[in-house]
Amino acid sequence: MSDSSTPRCGYVAIVGRPNVGKSTLLNHILGQKLAITSRKPQTTRHTMLGIKTEDAVQAIYVDTPGLHKDNDKALNRFMNKSASQALRDVDVVLFVVDRVRWTDEDQMVLEKVRFVTCPVLLVVNKLDRMDDKKDMLPHLEWLATQLPDAEIVPVSALHGRNIDQLEQLIAERLPEGEHFYPDDQITDRSSRFLAAELVREKVMRQLGAEIPYQVTVEIEQFKQEGKILHIHALILVERDGQKKIIIGDGGERMKKIGQEARLDMQKLFGSKVMLNLWVKVKRGWSDDERALSSLGYNFDS
C-alpha cells in the first residue's frame, strides 16, 4: 500500500505543435524561467529536462521542440526527430493544444500520441484568452472521442490557472521509485547551454519573421572571476545582411539584445554578469548536419 511518503519518480514529455505554450508551461511548473519562450513558432530547438522535486515526488519534465510539418532543412528534421523521440520511454505525456485551434500539425501530433502506451493528459492551454468557456465544449467533446483514455485539463500556463491540479494529476500517474536526480537539481543542461538560449531568445523576440530561424548562438567563454561571471557569446547567422540587421543602427539592436540577455542571466545564475556579444556569418549552418553537430545539435542523442 503506497502513501504520500512513498517516493515517486518519472519522466513527463511535454509535446505539441509549435507555439502552443509548452515551454511557458514548464517554466510555470518549475517556478522559474528555464526554457526560452517567444511569440514565434519553433522557439525551442532542443529537448531539455526540467526537474521538479516536491517531497516524495520527482517529476522530470521533457520540454520538446514543437512538432511541425516543415522538414526541408536539417535543423527542422533534427527538431522533429528530437520531439518524436521524447515520446518514447516516458511515464506520462502532456499533449498541449491551444484552445479550440486545431491545425494539421496538431493532427500530426495526435497521430503520434495515439500510439503511446503511458497515460496522456490533454492540456488545453491559453484558457485566459477564451471569452466564453462554453465555446470550447464541442471541441473538447470531439477531442475526447479522439483520445478516449486521455484526461482533458484546461489551463492557462501564462497565468498559472489550474496548474496545481495538473501537477496533481501528473504526480498520481508517476511510478513509485527512487528519485533519479538530486532533489536540488533543476535541469540536465549546462549553464553554458542556458546562457546561449537566453541570447537566442532575445534574438527571437526582437527580430522580424525569418532571421531568427537562421540564427544560432555559441558560448565561447563562461568564466567566474571573483563576483563576476564573464560570458562571451557568438551569434551565428547565415548571411551578411542578417549580421547588419542584428547589429542595428549604431549597434542599437545588439545593445538591447545584450542588456536583456544579461538581466535574465543574472537572475538565473544568481551572479553579476559581464556579457560580450559578437555576430559572425557562417553560411549554410542550418542545413548542414556536420555544422549542426559541431554547434551542439546532436542527431544521435
Ligand X SMILES: Nc1nc2c(ncn2[C@@H]2O[C@H](COP(=O)(O)OP(=O)(O)OP(=O)(O)O)[C@@H](O)[C@H]2O)c(=O)[nH]1
Residues that bind Mg ion (CB under 5 A): 22-23, 43-44
Say which entry of ligand X, Mg ion, none residue 39 contacts (CB below 5 to 8 A, set by partner kind). Answer: ligand X
**Among the listed residues 232, 188, 168, 174, the one whose alpha carbon sits nearest the alpha carbon of residue 34:** 188
Query: From start to end of the chain, where are the E strands?
Result: 8-15, 48-54, 57-63, 92-98, 120-125, 151-154, 216-225, 228-237, 272-281
Whether residue 194 is annotated as binding a ligand: the answer is: no
State in angstroms the smallest separation of the CB of 32 from ligand X.
14
Q: What angle do CA 125, 261, 161 make, to 5 degrees?
A: 20
State in angstroms the smallest separation of the CB of 148 from Mg ion.
28
Judged by CB, which is closer to Mg ion: 23, or 76?
23
State in angstroms the smallest separation of the CB of 170 from ligand X.
17
Say which entry of Mg ion, ligand X, none residue 176 contacts (CB below 5 to 8 A, set by partner kind). Answer: none
Judged by CB, which is closer to ligand X: 192, or 205?
205
Whether residue 66 is annotated as binding a ligand: the answer is: yes
**66 contacts ligand X (rule: CB under 6 A):** yes
Binder of ligand X out of 54, 89, 111, 128 (CB under 6 A): 128
CA distances from 59 to 91, 95, 120 (A): 10, 16, 15
CA distances from 150 to 26, 72, 111 (A): 20, 32, 14
Judged by CB, which is closer to ligand X: 18, or 50?
18
Three-state DSSP class for residue 14: strand
CA distances from 64 to 67, 133, 145 (A): 8, 28, 26
Say which entry of ligand X, Mg ion, none residue 53 contacts (CB below 5 to 8 A, set by partner kind). Answer: none
Judged by CB, which is closer to ligand X: 10, or 18?
18
**154 contacts ligand X (rule: CB under 6 A):** no
Whether residue 300 is annotated as binding a ligand: the answer is: no
Residue 285 in grid coordinates: 549552418
Binder of ligand X out of 13, 19, 238, 261 (CB under 6 A): 19
**Phi, psi at residue 101, to the nearest 5°?**
-75, 120
Is residue 47 within 8 Å of residue 301, measured between CB atoms?
Answer: no
Judged by CB, which is closer to ligand X: 41, or 248?
41
Beta bridge partners of 77: none
Number of shown-chain residues binding ligand X (CB under 6 A): 24
Q: List all residues 6 or more positions away from 282 whose beta carbon is below 8 Å from its beta carbon.
A: 236, 237, 238, 291
**50 contacts ligand X (rule: CB under 6 A):** no
User: How far is Cα 88 from Cα 118, in angstroms, rounded to an integer?
Assistant: 10
Judged by CB, which is closer to ligand X: 35, or 229?
35
**18 contacts ligand X (rule: CB under 6 A):** yes
First to last CA, the chain: 38
Whether residue 293 is annotated as binding a ligand: the answer is: no
Q: Which residues are annotated as a binding site?
A: 16-23, 63-67, 125-128
Binding residues (CB under 6 A) for ligand X: these are 16, 18-24, 37-39, 41-44, 65-66, 125-126, 128-129, 156-158
Q: Which residues are annotated as a binding site for GTP?
A: 16-23, 63-67, 125-128
